Structure 1
Amino acid sequence: MDSALTTVGLPVALGIIMFGLGLSLVPDDFRRVARQPRAVGVALGCQLVLLPVVCFGLVKAFDLPPLLAVGLMLLAASPGGTSANLYSHLFRGDVALNVSLTAINSVVAIVSLPVITNLAIAHYGLGDQVNLQFTKVVEVFAVVLVPVALGMLVRARAEGFARRMDRPVRTGSAVILAVLVLGILLDQRENVGDYLADVGLAAALFCAISLVVGYVVPRLAGVREAQAVASSMEIGVHNGTLAIYVAVEVLDSTQMSVPAAVYSIFMFVLAALWGLLLTRYLIPGPSSRRGRRQPTAPAP
């Protein structure tokens, strides 16, 4: 299940992308998030409370086998992946909020991931324990925060260069993401059919619900659109690599890793489709406002 593509290639590629994201950020972005804690609180509430409840309802509704059910719960307990920042960047979300949420979630996951997963394990009587290693948390921090900080440093020293690179970075990010998705699908081509048959529908539905809940709940709570987009991507784009690592290396169960692998396949496609739906149809953009005709004064 694990391969050089997911364990080495993906973090390296996302590290490069995160450097590009850092070029678009300034320190005031983070200060603004601190001044508006509602978005952070609502997103964390969805991530830590609402999603595990929704996931448990799905595993019961689909009557998944115990190992697959625990594997999907493990994924639900995993923090947002670094790809969430990329999607937020591509679809005009609040990237500073994504970076902050990823950092906060990575710390909270030290407690929340073992608790949620162990509750699922106890429910199905499997009897194992999960201990999330501190090195994985450090890894997430390194992949997310260090490249972003370097990008911000470059922007502080050469703002003109950073602004000129905005469009090329967005285009390059989309190309890198497409290559990574294609590589993952090719790498897993021998097993994709079996994985989809086992848990495909439940994983796809959980992904779709996560993306929608991540946007709708913050909007109902009064969070502005850019932050709701960031929340949607943070909640819907899970750290599948971390979930696979815990399943295979900590719980010693390849079958438990299947839901995370299948979810990751749907995640890249559904997050892109959801982002396009948001930006083109659900969120009025500057271009649509400019396209409206302004009333003219009557001729004298």
Structure 2
Amino acid sequence: MITQAALPAALAFIMFAMGLTMDPGDFRRIAARPQALAAGLAAKLLLVPLAGLAVVTVWRPSADFAVGMILLAACPAGVTSALLTHMAGGRIALAATVTALTSLAATLSVPALVNLGLAAFAGYQQAVEIPVGRMTLGIFLVDTVPLLLGLGIQRLWPRAAERLGRVARPVASLLFALIVVGAFISQRQSLVDHMGDVVPAALVLNLLAMGGAWGLGSLLRLDMADRIAVVMENGLQNSALGIFVAVTLLGNHAMMVPSIVYAFVMNLTAVAFIWAVKRRSIGSRPPRHGHESRP
């Protein structure tokens, strides 16, 4: 009960801290350059589900794991994507907007894709009703509302937001670390039990999602901040929604395993991506005057 209350509260605080750091002008930039938002939505709503279907078709796991993988690929972006986008130097406003819109789209995409998976891989003859509207409302309350609150403080009282942000940002980073560690500890047995059959498939899906998003961003010539946001949004799935649908709505614990495994895998690759972006940024800086390297 404590965990069920603490996790949403921690996620809400993370989004509040992100709102304190955001520039309201970022939303105007999104409106002025809609190709970045279009890329994020297209990759999230089309690329990731297609990648999930491709992985399942090639890997051919058991029926329950196949449906669970399709369910995972249908889920919207994870709530922590904005924080990780911030850590990587991406555009938080774009990440938050994609998360909000894909969460709304999940009311249609999740039932449609899950029923497709049930029919194709589990032999279901009739569609299963999946009322994900209440979960979408929960995502809105945990994700969008705290973000808007932090953004409002930043807009109305910028000095107060700056002082509060100096405390909130490290606390948000600490909370995120605790969430990742807690998820790993609580699900370590599932990781061990399914190391050979689900972990490789989850890793391939994650790399396809991130790599495809990077390629799409390059094709559209998005700037680095937008490209980072699109990659993070596509690599980080709302695994909590996948677990909720599998266990509560479908009553099948095996179908939640891909979401559990992916939750661990996606955080590892996200940290690796942040490290690579930071290293590239440092390497691309011009040398300081007086310290140029000699030929």
What TM-score, normalized by structure 1, do the two folds share? 0.89
Partner of 1:196: 195
Deviation for aligned residue 1:272: 0.9
Pick one of 285, 288, 291 that aligns with 1:289: 285
Q: Secondary structure at the match of 1:126?
A: coil
Q: Determine whether 1:117 maps to 2:114.
A: yes
d(CA) in 2 for partners of 1:237, 1:114: 20
1:153-210 CA-to-partner distances (Å, cap 9, x unmatched) read 2212321232345454443332221111111122223333113233111011211221
Q: What residue is the counterpart of 1:81 in the other structure?
A: 78
For the aligned residues, what is the CA RMSD?
2.2
1:68-126 Cα deviation digits (max 9, x unpaired) = 01101100010001111110011111100011111111111111111112111111213
Which shifted more, 135-144 or 160-169?
160-169
Structure 1: state its 5+ residue gaps. none
Which contiguous aligned blocks of 4+ residues in structure 1 show a shift greater than 6 angstroms?
A: none
1:237 aligns with 236
| Structure-1 separation of matches of 2:105 and 2:188 | 34
Q: Quick one: percent identity of the two aligned structures? A: 31
Amino acid at match of 1:24: T
Query: In the alignment, which of 79, 97, 101 is matched to residue 100 of structure 1?
Result: 97
Q: Give the 5 Å matches for 1:114-263.
A: 114-124=111-121, 125-127=123-125, 129-166=128-165, 168-263=167-262
Partner of 1:43: 40
1:34 partnered with 2:52: no
**Cross-structure match for 1:62:** 59
In 1: Cα distance, 2:213 partner to 2:268 partner: 17
Letter of the 1:43 counterpart: G
Alpha-carbon distance change, 158 to 109 in structure 1, aligned in 2, over 3 angstroms: same
Greater Cα shift, 69-78 or 178-187:
178-187
Q: What SS does the aligned partner of 2:196 have?
A: helix
Q: Is the 8 A contact 2:30 2:94 kept in 1?
A: yes
For 1:80 and 1:231, how far apart are their aligned partners in 2?
Answer: 10
Q: Secondary structure at the match of 1:291?
A: coil
Instruction: Quote how far apart the aligned CAs of 1:291 are.
Output: 2.5
TM-score, length-scaled by structure 2: 0.91
Q: How many pairs does the alignment contain? A: 290
Show structure 2 runs of 5+ residues with no match: none
C-alpha change, 1:214 and 1:173, in structure 2 (3 Å) is: farther
